């Protein structure tokens, strides 16, 4: 007869600690590649940019410290000031117009049975490469393009020089930006509108609210957190406008009419090999983005209504 000794029971606390250690190891394995990528491609360049903002470096010769000279140089540079004005103009035109259009589209599609089809159509530019979008619009804006041909044949006038006229070039960039972003916001707004409780709408209708009052006093306030989110994202995206400008209006358009901050950064860095001023301009853009986003967060207290309020 053999006797077996029962295995000593492992205390539950020790078991849990072992699982945690194992989980943590696997956690690092899964998160590791992403972390490495983030350190190499985001954190590294970010730190390098901060360092270079205080240095003079052309990529070929020795790095020299220049203190705040790059910032002084950039803040008094007419080109940067023009870039900031152009970028803010793009943001101030494309964000409200784009969001208003997206809201209109969302409201129009809400009750439509075939809305999925329309959503696919509106969303197509969002999933299309910006470069491809810009190249297509470049063809449309040509003097012998479809748009100019339509204007000439319909109104019997000389079509405008969309990309060559300094005043129109920026508008052209705005048109393309709005066209390519409206689909995403429309989808987001539609989801928000569909999430509103029908009982709230019915109650308002019983109180005699018309379509306009329903939209402006009930539905928009209820989706205001979503509108706020879209505004933040759209504004930040507008501040980073580059590829549309780069492809649509080569060399930042006539008389730098479409020169944006990010184009300015690119031009200084990779056109002129002035990585110090280029990095300083990047830091200025970062500060500008933080200030504008901060202002938007401050404004949300007045315009954004949360259900818990």
Partner 1 sequence: MSMRSRTHKLLAGLAAAALALGLAACSGGGGTASAPSTGGSAAGTPSGTVVWSTWGTPEELTRFKDFNTQFMKKYPTIKVTLNPVASYSDYHSKLLAQLTSNTAPDVFYIGDDKLGQFVSANVLLPLNDRMAAPGSKITKDAFFDGLFGAAQTDGQTYAAPNDVNPDLFWYDKKALAAAGITEDPATLAASDQWTTAKFLEMNDKLKAAGLTGSMYWNYWATHYSWISAQGGKAYDGNTFVGNTDPKTVAAVTTLGQYFQNKTFVVADTLPEGAGADSIFVRHKAGFFVQGRYTIGTLKSAGVQADYDVVRWPTADGKAAPTGVAASYLAINKNTKNADAAFLFWSEFLNADGQKFRLAGGGNAVPSVKGADEVVLEDNYPANAQGILDARNIGFVNYPAEAKVPALSSDISDLFLKLYEGKADAQGTLDAVAALAKEKIGS
Residues near partner 1 (CB under 8 A) are: 40-41, 44-45, 47-49, 51-52, 55, 57-63, 65, 138, 141-145, 148, 161-164, 254-256, 267, 269-275
- Rounded to a whole number of angstroms, the minimum distance from the CB of residue 9 to partner 1 is 53
For the beta carbon of residue 66, count every other beta carbon within 10 angstroms: 18
Task: Kindly tell me which of 164 and 221 has the beta carbon lying closer to partner 1.
Answer: 164
Question: Would you say 141 or 228 has its CB closer to partner 1?
Answer: 141
> Which residues, in sequence order, are CB contacts of 175 under 8 Å at separation 6+?
137
Close Cβ partners of 42 (under 8 Å, ≥ 6 residues apart): none
3-class state of residue 11 by DSSP: coil
Smallest gap, in angstroms, from Cβ of residue 60 to partner 1? 3
Alpha-carbon distance of 6 to 98, in angstroms, equals: 72
Query: Residue for token digits 């809201």?
Result: 103
Rounded to an integer, what distance in angstroms lies between the CA atom of residue 267 and that of residue 288?
19
Residue 273 or 306 with smaller CB distance to partner 1: 273
User: How open is the CA angle 283-126-162, to the nearest 5 degrees?
Assistant: 75
HSE-CB at 195 with a 13 A cutoff on CA atoms is 14
- Of the pair 57, 189, the CB lying nearest partner 1 is at 57
Q: How far is the CB of 168 from partner 1 (least distance, A)?
A: 10
DSSP string for residues in 194-236? HTS-HHHHHHHHHTT--HHHIIIIIIHHHTHHHHHHHHHHHHH
The whole-angstrom separation of Cα 133 and Cα 183 is 14
Min dist CB 289 to partner 1, Å, is 20
Q: How far is the CB of 209 from partner 1 (least distance, A)?
A: 51
Nearer to partner 1, 64 or 156 (CB): 64
Closer to partner 1 by CB, 30 or 41: give it.
Answer: 41
At closest approach, how far in Å is the CB of 23 from partner 1?
32
For residue 65, list its beta bridge partners.
55
Tell me whether residue 181 or residue 278 sits nearer to partner 1 (CB atom).
Answer: 278
Q: Tell the smallest beta-carbon distance from residue 180 to partner 1 (Å).
A: 20
């Amino acid at each position: 007869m053999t006797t077996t000794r029962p295995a000593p029971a492992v205390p539950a606390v020790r078991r849990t600690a072992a699982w945690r250690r194992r989980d943590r190891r696997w956690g690092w394995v899964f998160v590791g590649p992403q972390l490495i990528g983030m350190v190499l491609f985001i954190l590294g360049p970010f730190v390098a940019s901060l360092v270079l903002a205080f240095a003079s470096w052309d990529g070929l010769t020795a790095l020299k410290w220049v203190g705040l000279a790059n910032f002084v140089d950039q803040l008094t540079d007419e080109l940067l000031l023009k870039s900031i004005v152009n970028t803010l103009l793009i943001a101030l035109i494309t964000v409200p117009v784009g969001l208003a259009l997206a809201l209109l589209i969302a409201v129009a599609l809400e009750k439509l049975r075939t809305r999925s089809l329309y959503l696919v159509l509106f969303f197509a530019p969002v999933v299309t490469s910006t470069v491809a979008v810009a190249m297509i619009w470049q063809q449309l804006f040509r003097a012998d393009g479809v748009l100019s041909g339509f204007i000439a044949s319909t109104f019997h006038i000389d079509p405008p020089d969309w990309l060559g006229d300094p005043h129109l070039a920026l508008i052209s960039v705005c048109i393309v930006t709005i066209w390519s972003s409206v689909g995403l916001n429309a989808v987001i707004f539609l989801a928000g509108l569909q999430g509103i409780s029908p009982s709230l709408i019915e109650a308002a209708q019983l109180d005699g609210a018309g379509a306009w009052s329903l939209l402006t006093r009930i539905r928009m306030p209820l989706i205001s957190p979503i509108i706020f989110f879209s505004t933040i994202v759209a504004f930040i995206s507008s501040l980073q406008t580059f590829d549309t400008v780069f492809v649509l209006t080569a060399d930042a358009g006539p008389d730098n009419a479409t020169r944006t901050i990010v184009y300015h950064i690119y031009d200084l860095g990779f056109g002129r090999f002035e990585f110090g001023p280029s990095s300083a301009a990047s830091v200025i853009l970062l500060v500008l983005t933080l200030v504008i986003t901060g202002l938007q967060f401050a404004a949300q207290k007045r315009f954004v209504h949360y259900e818990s309020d």
